[in-house]
Amino acid sequence: MKHQNLLLIAFLSVFSLSLNAQNKEIFDKITVAPGMEVVKLSSKAYFYVSYDDMGSFGIVPCNGLILVNDGEVALLDTPANNERTAILMDWIEQGLQAKLTTFIPNHWHGDCLGGLSYLQKKGVKSYANQMTIDLTREKKLPIPDYGFTDSLTVKLGDMDLCCYYPGGGHSTDNIVVWIPSEKILFGGCMVKEVRATGLGNLSDAAVNEWPSTIDKVINKYPDARIVIPGHGAIGGRELLLHTREMLEKNNKSMP
């Protein structure tokens, strides 16, 4: 537990430095549970990090986004299991006094939809790339409720959650979600934090396709104020550019 707390402190320090570098205010931080923290980005957006046990990868900081509007909440990515997801959902409904109604996973890995079965038992509707649905069915995992191809705008009251599939990257099915009213881009695991020196888990990656995928994201969202990666500190558009640079170096090093 002490190790997890030290990791969380280090993560949040980097988070604060990243925002300072962009002349952004330091936002309120809320402890939800040991190894789980929420940071208020605006009156309608909360970033969370949950330090979860990812098996052979050990304890990993997993990021997600909470959006609240008109008494309803959308969650982008769950913690890695039902127990951790239940803790987060309890905080959402008690701390924000709003009902979690909508869930959108970034891709099929456990650090995105590990708590889906719990949310489904609670009546939360889930929306996912059709490729994600096909993969979860193939791998006998909990299956999201509604699928889309290319793009889908999910409404949370009058707030638009713009889901877009730009192509393969960290996984063949990874998407991004753009919230235009907040100028927040949830990039998930296809986007790397600025301190990252490698591309992470490539076991299900579409490495050759990834550069063109990230280029599409860079060009499509020039107004992104906050960019959230799947793991590590959030920042701005520099995360997209840093990811692109690492992909270029990776491709040059390949035979």
Residue 50 CA to chain centroid, in angstroms?
11
Is 192 a known active-site residue? yes
> Tell me, what CATH number does 77's domain have?
3.60.15.10
Q: From the candidates 69, 77, 82, 111, give the one annotated as an active-site residue.
A: 111
Residue 165 near residue 129 (C-beta atoms within 8 A): yes
Q: Distance (Å, rounded) from C-alpha 50 to C-alpha 231?
A: 10
Q: Distance (Å, rounded) from C-alpha 191 to C-alpha 210?
A: 10
Is 252 a known active-site residue? no
| Whole-structure pTM value | 0.88
Is 3 a known active-site residue? no
Q: Which pLDDT score is estimated for 207?
A: 93
Q: Distance (Å, rounded) from C-alpha 204 to C-alpha 221?
A: 25
Q: At 183, give phi and psi (nearest 5°).
A: 55, 40
Tens-digit pLDDT string for the chain (255 aa): 444 444 444 444 444 444 433 434 446 789 999 999 999 999 999 999 999 887 777 888 999 999 999 999 999 999 999 999 999 999 999 999 999 999 999 999 999 999 999 999 999 999 999 999 999 999 999 999 999 999 999 999 999 999 999 999 999 999 999 999 999 999 999 999 999 999 988 999 999 999 999 999 999 999 999 999 999 999 999 999 999 999 998 876 655
Residue 152 CA to chain centroid, in angstroms?
17
Q: From the candidates 109, 129, 163, 173, give the one annotated as an active-site residue.
A: 109
Is 170 a known active-site residue? yes
Q: Which pLDDT score is estimated for 10?
A: 43
Structure tokens at 148: 């889309």
Structure tokens at 227: 């960019």
Q: Based on the structure, what is the number of domains in the chain?
A: 1
The neighbouring-strand residues paired with 126 are: 103
Is 112 a known active-site residue? no
* Domain housing 136: 2-253
